Amino acid sequence: PSPLDRDQMQGLRGIREFLKVRTSYDVLPLSFRLIVLDNDLLIKKSLNILIQNGIVSAPLWDSRNSTFAGLLTSTDYINVIQYYWQFPDEIDQVDRFRLSSLREIEKALGVEPLETVSVHPMRPLYEACRRMLRTRARRIPLVDVDGETKRETVVSVITQYRILKFIAVNNEKHTVLLRKPVREIGLGTYTNLATASMNSSVLDVIHLMVKHNISAVPIVDKENRVLNVFEAVDVIPCIKGGAYDELSGSVGEALSKRADDFPGIYTCSEEDRLDSIFDTIRKSRVHRLIVVDDESRLRGIISLSDILKYVLLHGEEEDDIRAA
């Protein structure tokens, strides 16, 4: 192998070792807040709480049984929207749905159940990463169980971004070794890209996300130049107050509802290297990178799960991957 290949593998191995000796607990900041929602809350009200607190997800708590009841994410709201459009006769009911009704909505739609996967905060971080990749969860709750009372406590939630940022901040000596260009390592998706235009309706974009099982759709002009990205979380302000029927509005209008602190979209080129992507992650709250050419035309998408998967699994034997 070339020195470049050797360094790349050495960097990846270094990061993997690091993830095995750190725990999920290590990723948490010294002080943080956690908003947990009661399962009995009306879905309509949960939207306002998320918006008011500037968050896009929250663990659910079943106070009758004192147990963790899964993680509420934008996917759940997308399910409600689909339900609303598939069962128009039940529109009156939708307003009365509680978070605990999400299960029935999933059943009616025949979709995957609410994410209930969790990890113990003191388990190796590597394990949390593997579980995320296996279940395709973008965030994972840290749930602790009291040895005596057997009661569960939700400690926090860690996201793919937090893990990658933790790697970027603490592992520069390994990330600098990752000097192979994105094009060469095939990082991301470059074919069958789902895109939409500013005039597409929000509902159409939601259907695209559901159909392709993706969390973002690039918004492009006629020349395929990237103008913006519509993310699954952008759905939340659109349906504030239960305004499910307003989703026929355009993507352009919906994007103007973004919070003032929206971090923006991040682009890169196919010549960029993973080390510079880690620099971007270190400095900014990146949710994905849009790969563009010199004229801002869309080439591909690199999701955080693509990066995590590469960092954890590239060069591992298939058998090892299954066994781990």
Binding site for ligand ADP (CB under 6 A): 138, 160, 188-189, 192-194, 212, 214-218, 301, 303-306
Tally the residues of the chain: 324
Least spacing, CB of residue 268 vs ligand ADP, in Å = 13
DSSP run (H or E) holding 259: none
DSSP run (H or E) holding 309: helix 304-313
Give the separation between CA 252 and CA 200, rounded to whole angstroms.
8
Provide the 10 A C-beta neighbour count for residue 116: 14
β strands within the chain, DSSP E: 37-38, 58-62, 67-72, 139-145, 152-159, 216-220, 226-231, 266-268, 288-292, 298-303
- For CA atoms 243, 248, 249, 254, the dihedral sign is positive
Residue whose CB is less far from ligand ADP, 70 or 242:
70
Least spacing, CB of residue 287 vs ligand ADP, in Å = 7
Q: Are the C-beta atoms of residues 89 and 187 closer than 8 Å to each other? A: no
Residue whose CB is less far from ligand ADP, 125 or 304:
304
Residue whose CB is less far from ligand ADP, 233 or 247:
233
CA distances for 39 relative to 98, 100, 103, 140, angstroms:
7, 5, 11, 18
Residue whose CB is less far from ligand ADP, 125 or 291:
291
CA distances for 61 relative to 140, 149, 236, 241, angstroms:
15, 17, 21, 22
Residue whose CB is less far from ligand ADP, 94 or 217:
217
Residue whose CB is less far from ligand ADP, 101 or 159:
159
Give the separation between CA 90 and CA 79, rounded to whole angstroms.
14
CA distances for 146 relative to 117, 143, 158, 212, angstroms:
18, 10, 20, 40
Residue whose CB is less far from ligand ADP, 65 or 284:
284
Residue whose CB is less far from ligand ADP, 152 or 306:
306
Give the separation between CA 128 and CA 139, rounded to whole angstroms.
10
Least spacing, CB of residue 183 vs ligand ADP, in Å = 14
Closest to 2 (Cα-Cα) out of 179, 195, 150: 179
Least spacing, CB of residue 304 vs ligand ADP, in Å = 4
